[in-house]
Structure 1
Amino acid sequence: MTWTLLVLTIGVYLVEVLAGGSQNSNTLMTMGAMTNVSIQTGDWWRLITPIFLHLSVFHIFMNGFTLLYVGQILEPMIGHWRFLTIYLLSGITGNLASFAFGSDNTISVGASTSIFGLFAAFLALGFIYRENRFMTEIGKSFLGLIVVNLLLDLLMPSINIWGHLGGALGGLFLGYTLGLPGIQRPKMIFRILSLVVLVVISYFMYTKGMIVYG
């Protein structure tokens, strides 16, 4: 899934460039970029499509490199479908946070919402399997990455910190919900509760964004 997502993202970027430019707002909106108004008027699918859009070679390189690095560690641990689920749903929760708390006129694109979700999934696994030294240490490492990147976000107003926070929140709860394959931890009741909490938070963010429009 890591390589499939990477190839797909690069392919979409090439289409952006050929269709009018990756920084052309009309091209971005045509291909699925998100603004708050677009979601408020019914384009709910724009909560998903921005994950695969990028603004520049540097933008896609940073996200693509991070996806490859994290994916080569996380995907073999949790399996293909768990990895894909965390990647996509974290991207959606990140975009929902941006929708609820971000600027109305900002065009949102990029896989960083999903990347933060992958970071936070490591954090969840490190907590669940904290008797495992490797899992604990890698969880701490990715917690550090989350903190450093959020601090950098505060220094760069052009970066959507709400999307990153929402993506991390999604990855944290999804990591706890899915766990590692073949290991009966955490208990099913806690997995269900974790998923329910994430759904409730996501619904709250969606309704908060829609209230502004209503």
Structure 2
Amino acid sequence: MNSKRTLQRINNTSFVTWLLLVMTVLVFLLEIISGGSQNQQVLFNLGAKVNDLVRQGDWWRLITPIFLHIGFMHIAVNGVMIYYVGTQLERIFGHLRFLLIYFVSGIAGNLTSFAFGNDGTISAGASTALFGLFGAFIALGLVFKQNPFIQAVARQFGVLVIINLVFDLFMPSIDLWGHIGGFVGGLLIAFAINVPKSIGKIPYWQQVLAIIIVVGLGSLMYWNGMYG
């Protein structure tokens, strides 16, 4: 009986979200200790996305930027959003699915930025993954149209995505392509991995189609970034 309660408590706890938050804060502290979170050399050394270096073989720079942030306000805003969105989405999708959405979205955003972004800039931040979480909520809204809670949340995040993308157009320092890629990646991977049976079921053909699109777009982005 106690083991069942413990398992249920673990399932209801958003520990993956907290783990991601702790890792993000620890990396930020490492940035500060190493010379400052706005020091380009520090960001460069710790794995910020630099297109030319990715082309030279530093593929891991498509992953590490998810945990790097430039300045206190950057990590503060993203940290609050990771907690707010992550705790909700982790309870819906479960721990492993949520973790997969987070990383695939972050990588998809960085890959899109690699394909279409400015070669002369250094990119970092969890925004690519966050936009993927927004996309996952939109995917739920498209599938579960009879669920009032999911519909309400999906509409809220849909408006948030539109507002953020509009602001991105007028802020050249923001990685617009990274945000768009993260959003699309999160939406597609949410379709691909399905949701727990207690929530419902995404049609099988939609899952297969989403997987094909993810692989196809990912390959296209990588090829364009390397040789385009």
2:164 corresponds to 1:149: yes
Alignment partners' CA distance in 2, 1:12 and 1:97: 24
Percent identical residues: 49
Alignment partners' CA distance in 1, 2:88 and 2:62: 27
Alignment partners' CA distance in 2, 1:206 and 1:125: 28
1:50–1:110: 8 Å Cα contact kept in structure 2? yes
1:184, CA displacement in angstroms? 5.7
2:58 corresponds to 1:49: no
Alignment partners' CA distance in 2, 1:168 and 1:53: 19
Alignment partners' CA distance in 2, 1:7 and 1:111: 13
Q: Secondary structure at the match of 2:99?
A: helix
- Calculate the TM-score normalised by the size of structure 1: 0.96
Q: Partner of 2:146 in structure 1?
A: 131
Please identify the structure whose Cα radius of gyration is greater: 2
Q: Partner of 2:101 in structure 1?
A: 86
1:125–1:179: 8 Å Cα contact kept in structure 2? no
Alignment partners' CA distance in 2, 1:74 and 1:190: 20
Q: Partner of 2:205 in structure 1?
A: 189
Q: Return the letter of the residue paired with 1:48.
A: I
1:72, CA displacement in angstroms? 1.6
Q: Partner of 1:158 in structure 2?
A: 173
Q: Partner of 2:8 in structure 1?
A: none
The range that moved more, 191-200 or 57-66, is: 191-200
CA RMSD of aligned residues (A): 1.0
Alignment partners' CA distance in 2, 1:69 and 1:28: 26
Structure 1 residues 161-180: aligned runs within 5 Å: 161-180=176-195
2:93 corresponds to 1:70: no
Of 10, 26, 29, which aligns to 1:14?
Answer: 29
After TM superposition, which residue ranges in structure 1, 4 or more long, deviate above 6 angstroms?
none
Alignment partners' CA distance in 1, 2:124 and 2:200: 37
Q: Partner of 2:222 in structure 1?
A: 206
Q: Return the letter of the residue paired with 1:43.
A: D
Q: Return the letter of the residue paired with 1:124.
A: A
Alignment partners' CA distance in 2, 1:192 and 1:20: 46
Q: Secondary structure at the match of 1:201?
A: helix
